[in-house]
Structure 1
C-alpha cells in the first residue's frame, strides 16, 4: 500500500509516553492536592522492561525469540493496565498532570514491545508469530477498552475538560485535552453499563477478525501465484523477470517451471508486459478470485465484521459506521467525502470510455477481433504509452537501482530541502537480513534512526508502509526511530534490485511518512508526528512524491544499472508527457475502491447487513457508475486489507483527499522557489513538524496561506474540461 500507518502500531503509538510536567502549570484551578500517592506497579522482566541500550534505544531484535513474544506482550498489557488503574484511583483531585499527562506516561513497556512485534507480524511473519498475533489481538482490544470504559478515569478526564476555561494551558495541552476527551466519548465512556459490556465483546471479536483476515489475505496472495510451464508463454517479460520466475519455481520445488506472483492490488504489473493473452487472463483471474474460496476465504469473516461494525454504530446511535468512525477526521461528514469523489465520477467515466476505445482500436490494429477485457487493458495501455510517448517501463526500470534511488535520490532530496544527511550503520540488529539502518543527522546533529526494508518476500504482507519503533516525545526526551517497508520485486540471483517508476514514487511517498515522524517536535507522544487523522497523515507522504521527478533529484539517482549513464532527457520527458495518460485505470481503480469502502460503511445499522459479500460488492460497483467491468477496484472486498485491518474503514477516500492537498501544496512550492532549504524550513515549521498539535485546516493554511483547492488535482489527473495537456482521453477524440 502507499501508506504508512499500520493499525497495529497505532495502539502502541498512543501509549509510549513518559516524563514530568510541572503540576502547577496545568492544575485544575482551585483544587488542592490532598495526599502523597505512590501506587505499586508490577515490575517488567523482559528485554523491553527498560529503554534499549542500543543507539537511540533501537529495538533489540536479536534478544527475542519467536516464542518469547507472547509472554512479553502479556506482561506489558498487565503493567499498563495497572498503571491506568493507578491513575483512575488517584485520591487526589484530577489535574492535567496527574491524569492526562500520567496517561501519556503510561504504557511505555507495552509501546516498546508492541511496536517491534507488530512490525514482525507485518514484515516477517511465520506460524509462531501468526498464532501469537491472533491470540493477543482480543487481549489488546480488551486492554484498550479497559482504559476508555473505566468510569473513574473518564470522570477525572471529564472534570478537567469541564473546567478547561479556567485553566492555563499551552496550545498543545489544549489539543491533548480535547482529543483525549473526544476519544473517551467516541469509545463508549458515556454508554450505559449493558451497552459497554456489549461494546467490549464487539471490539474483542473485531480485533480477532482483523488479525485472522490479515493473515488470510497474505496467504491468499501467496497462493494466487500461477505456474507457467513453457518459457515461450512469457514473451514480453525481461530476461531478469524470467530468471526470477524460474528461481521462484525452483524454490517451490518446481524446477524447470516459472512462477508468476500477484501483487497486493487487483492489478498485477506483469499484465502490462505479457504478450500471451491466455497467461494474462490466468494471472488476472487468479488475482481477483483470491480469498473467495477454500482455506483462505475471508468472506464469512468480512460478513461478520460488517455486521459487528453496524451493531457498534447502532449502540452509539449513529446513522452508519462511517459516521461513527470519522469523528476525528479533517472530513468528519461521510456525505462530504462521498460527494468529493462522486463529483469526479462523470468525467472519470467518460475518460474510461474514451481510453477503452483507444485500446480497442489498438488491439484491432494488431489484427485481433476480440473485445477488450480487463486483463488486456494494461497491456495495450503500455503499447499505446510506448508508441505515443516513447515510454517503455522496462527500459526505464534499468535506471532505477533500489539502493541508488534511496541514497542518491530520496536522501539527496532530504538534504537539499531539510539539511539531512544519512550514515549507514552495521551495529543495529534487525528482524531480517534485508533491512538496512541509517542514522539521520540534521545539520550534522543526530536526530533519528531510519530502517529500510525494500524487498518482497513471502513472510511480508503486501503493500508499503511506515511505522515507528520509538515515538518522538519531549516528555521522554526520546528521538524517533522509524521504518519504511516496501514490496519491490526481488531480482534474479546475482542481479541488481531494480525498481519500477511506481516503486520509485512509493519510496518517496513512504519517506514522506518517515519525515513526518523524523521531524516530530511534540511534547506528547499521542500528538506526535504521524499520530494524526487518516485524511491528513497521507498528505505529507503524497506531497513528497513530487520530488521524485524534480530534474535535479532525478539526475542524481536515475543511472543505468550497467553503464552508469544518467537517464536520457527524452525518457524523462516521456515520463512527464505520459503523466496524465491512462487515468481511466490508475485513478479509476482508486476511486472505485474508495467509494466501495464508503458503500460498505454507510449501511443503515438498523437493517441486517448483507449476507452475500460479492453480490453486495457487484451492486455497489454498479451504483458507483464507473467501468469496473474493465477497470476493477484497486482492491476487491475479500482482500481489501486497508478497510479490515489498517483502520482505513470509511477512510480509503483519504488517499484522494490528501492527493488534492498535496497537488495544491506543491503548486505553492513551484510558485515560491521550488526545492531549497528555505522552503524546507517552511514545510517543517508549518505542517511536517507539527504532528497533531494544531488543527489540520490551520496547518494547511499556515503553509499555503489559503484553504485547499481541488483544481490542481483535477488538472494533474486530466479531468478539467478543455485541458490542453496530451492526455489519453483527449488524444482519443
Structure 2
C-alpha cells in the first residue's frame, strides 16, 4: 500500500471520491485503522446520544431514521478493516483486531443497553399501528425493538453490565480463535519430492510446485491446509502414509498444546453464551439464537437433521462397503479410514460413471466459470459485468467489475478467488458498502472471497466441480447484496435470518449443473474444446454420488454445534470430549470425519454468525431444492416470470419481508421438504427406513 506522511488526513475518514466511491486502498496503511476507529467510535456515540437525548417526542424520523443515519464513518472503517483482516492480513492488522474486538463489542452493548434510546423505540413500537408506517418502515421498527430486547434492554442494571462484559470477552475470544486457525494453516506445509507424487494429476503437481517455490522450496512440491490444496491431494495421492499425515494435520487445526490451542477458547465461549442466554431468559443459547429464525426452536432444527441423518447413514454404509471392496481388490486389508475415503470414492466414481476428477478439471477454468456465473445472472436478472482496471484494490489477486442493468450501474463487484498465506481459509461473501436508499441511492460494493489453488506457471487455475459449486454459491450471496432494493440499511441485502440467508446462494448453485451452462463455459484449458456431451451426461448422472458421506460430514458438524449450545454446560467443559460423545450418540461412522471439527469450527467460534445455526444450510436447502423445481416445472431454467418473482421476493427484498411470505411470493406456496431428499438422492433410503 502507498505510504502517507505524518500529519496527513486519515484516508479512511475522508470522502472517497474515486469510481463508485470505493475505498482508496492505495492510500491506506495498516497503522491508520486504530486512530480511525477511535474517531469514528466517538462520532457514532455522539450521534446516538443525540438521538437518545432529543427533547422532542419520538417519531419514526427522529428516532429510527436518525439511528439508521448514524455511525457512517464507523461503518466505513469497520467494513474495510474486517474485509482486510480476512483477505490480506498482517501482524499490525491482527494486533488491531485483538485490541478493537472488545472495544467494538462494548460500543455495541452501550447502544443496545441505552435505556433512553430504548424508551424511544419502545414508545414507537407500542403505537406502531397508528403511526401510518409503510410495510418496510413497520419491518424496520419491529427489527429494532426485537434487537434491543434480545440484547438486554429493559433488564436490571446488574444484568446489563454482565451482558456487556460477556459480549466484550466473546469478541476477544472469537478474534483469537480465527487468528489461531490461520496461524496453524500458515505454519503447515507438506513437502513432497518427485517420488511422492504418485497418483497426483498434472494440475495438482503444477499447483504444488508453485506453492513450494513460493514458500522457499524450489524444485519440490508443497501441499497446504487450504481446502483446494489438501482435498485433491487426499483424492488422488496413492501414498496412504502421506494421506494420513496430511489429513491428521488438517483435522488437528486449533488443537495443539501451544499458543494456538482453541480448545479452552471454545469452551469459554460456550459457557459465556449459555450464561448470556440465561440472563436474557432463555433455556439455552440454542433456544435464544433460534427464536429469531425460520426454525424458531432447536427441536425443529434437530428434527430436520434427523430426517436426513437416518437415510444418510444407510446410504453411507452402502458407500463404505463399496469402497472397502475396492481396497480389498487392490490387495489391501485395512479398514477404510477418513484419509482413505476421498481416494477410494474417486476410484468408485470412475468405476460407476467412468468419471474422475482429473478428467473433469481441465474443463473447469476459473476465468470461464466466473463468466458462467455472470452469464446466468444476465439471463435471469438482466445484469451485465464489465471489468474495471481503474479501481485500486487491496491485493493484485482481486478483480473489480462494474455491474449494470439497462445501462445503469447497479453495484461494484470484487472477486478475490485465489489462496494466499495472508487470507483466511474458506469462502465467503461480504461487502465494503451495503445498498440503501435512505438519502438517495447508495450502490453496494460486494466482495466474494475464495481460496482456489493457483495454476502452474503460465497456466489457468483449474477447479474441481465442488470448487465451481462454491464459486456459484458465493456469487448467489453476492447477488443477494447487489440486487438489494430497500430503503433502510438494517434490511439491506443479506441482513436476513441465518436459515434464510443460504437460500439465494444455494439456489444459485443449481445453474452451474445445467448442460446449457456447461456446454458454453466448460472449455478445455489447452484445446478450447467444450466438455464432450458424454462427459456432461456422466457428470450430471453422478450428481448424487457419495451423498451419504457428504450429508453425514455436514450434519455431524451441525449436530455437534447444537449439542454444544443446547445441553447443560459443565464448569470443566471439554469441547473435544463433548464432540466425541455426541458423535458416538448419533452413530457417526468411523470412516467419516466432521466437515468442521470443534477446534477449528470458524463458522461458530470466529464470531457468532452460525453459532447454534450451522443447521441452517440444510434448512435453506429445503427452499433451494424446492425453489429450483419451480424453474424445471416451466421447462426453462431462465423462465422470465419465475426469475422476476425470484428477484422481487427474494434477491431484491433483503429483510423487508417475512421469510415465509417471501418464499411463498416467489413459489406460490410453502416449500416441499421432499425436494431436499430428492436433491440429495436420499428419497429411496428414506422410504426404506
TM-score scaled by structure 1? 0.90
Instruction: Give yes or no for the alignment of 1:420 onto 2:379.
Output: no
Q: Given the alignment, which residue of 537, 544, 553 partners 1:580?
A: 544
Give the structure, 1 or 2, with the largest relative contact order (CA under 8 Å, sep 6 or more): 1
Offset, 1:391: 1.3
Q: Given the alignment, which residue of 596, 609, 615 partners 2:577?
A: 615
2:603 equivalent in structure 1 = 642
Instruction: Give yes or no for the alignment of 1:556 onto 2:556.
Output: no
Q: Given the alignment, which residue of 382, 393, 412 partners 2:357?
A: 393
Q: Which residues of 2 match residues 262-301 of structure 1 at below 5 A?
A: 262-263=225-226, 268-293=231-256, 294-301=258-265
SS of the counterpart of 2:222? strand
Q: How far apart, CA to CA, are the structure 2 residues paired with 1:50 and 1:97? A: 27
Offset, 1:51: 4.1
SS of the counterpart of 2:684? coil
Does the Cα contact within 8 Å between 1:121 and 1:129 map onto a contact in 2? yes
Q: How far apart, CA to CA, are the structure 1 residues paired with 2:347 and 2:150? A: 51
Does the Cα contact within 8 Å between 1:225 and 1:286 map onto a contact in 2? no
SS of the counterpart of 2:55? coil
SS of the counterpart of 1:454? strand
Does the Cα contact within 8 Å between 1:522 and 1:690 map onto a contact in 2? yes
Q: Which residues of 2 match residues 125-140 of structure 1 at below 5 A?
A: 125-140=89-104
Q: How far apart, CA to CA, are the structure 2 residues paired with 1:466 and 1:491? A: 23
Q: Which residues of 2 match residues 176-575 of structure 1 at below 5 A?
A: 176-228=140-192, 230-263=193-226, 268-293=231-256, 294-407=258-371, 409-476=372-439, 477-575=441-539
SS of the counterpart of 1:507? helix
Does the Cα contact within 8 Å between 1:87 and 1:98 map onto a contact in 2? yes
Offset, 1:624: 2.3
SS of the counterpart of 1:429? coil
Instruction: Give yes or no for the alignment of 1:661 onto 2:623.
Output: yes
Q: How far apart, CA to CA, are the structure 2 residues paired with 1:635 and 1:480? A: 31
Deviations 1:485-539 (CA, angstroms, capped at 9, x unpaired)? 1110111222211111111111111111111111111010110111111101110
Does the Cα contact within 8 Å between 1:310 and 1:603 map onto a contact in 2? no
Q: Which blocks of at least 5 consecutive residues in structure 1 are unaligned? A: 1-43
Q: How far apart, CA to CA, are the structure 1 residues paired with 2:650 and 2:526? A: 40
> Greater CA deviation, 242-251 or 697-706?
242-251
Offset, 1:620: 1.1
Q: How far apart, CA to CA, are the structure 2 residues paired with 1:276 and 1:155? A: 66
Offset, 1:45: 5.9
Rate the CA distance shift 1:280–1:722 in 2: closer, same or farther, 3 A.
closer
Q: Given the alignment, which residue of 657, 660, 666 partners 1:697?
A: 660
Offset, 1:244: 2.6
| Aligned residue pairs, count | 678
Q: How far apart, CA to CA, are the structure 2 residues paired with 1:403 and 1:347? A: 38
Offset, 1:223: 2.5
2:3 equivalent in structure 1 = none
Q: Given the alignment, which residue of 39, 42, 46 partners 1:78?
A: 42
1:12 equivalent in structure 2 = none
1:29 equivalent in structure 2 = none
Offset, 1:264: 5.1
Offset, 1:553: 1.6
Q: Given the alignment, which residue of 26, 30, 33 partners 1:69?
A: 33
1:601 equivalent in structure 2 = 565
Rate the CA distance shift 1:114–1:183 in 2: closer, same or farther, 3 A.
same
Q: Given the alignment, which residue of 84, 87, 102 partners 1:123?
A: 87
Offset, 1:723: 9.0
Deviations 1:88-134 (CA, angstroms, capped at 9, x unpaired)? 11111111111111000001111111111111000001101110111
Q: Which blocks of at least 5 consecutive residues in structure 2 are unaligned? A: 1-7
Q: How far apart, CA to CA, are the structure 1 residues paired with 2:87 and 2:230? A: 22
Does the Cα contact within 8 Å between 2:312 and 2:549 map onto a contact in 1? no
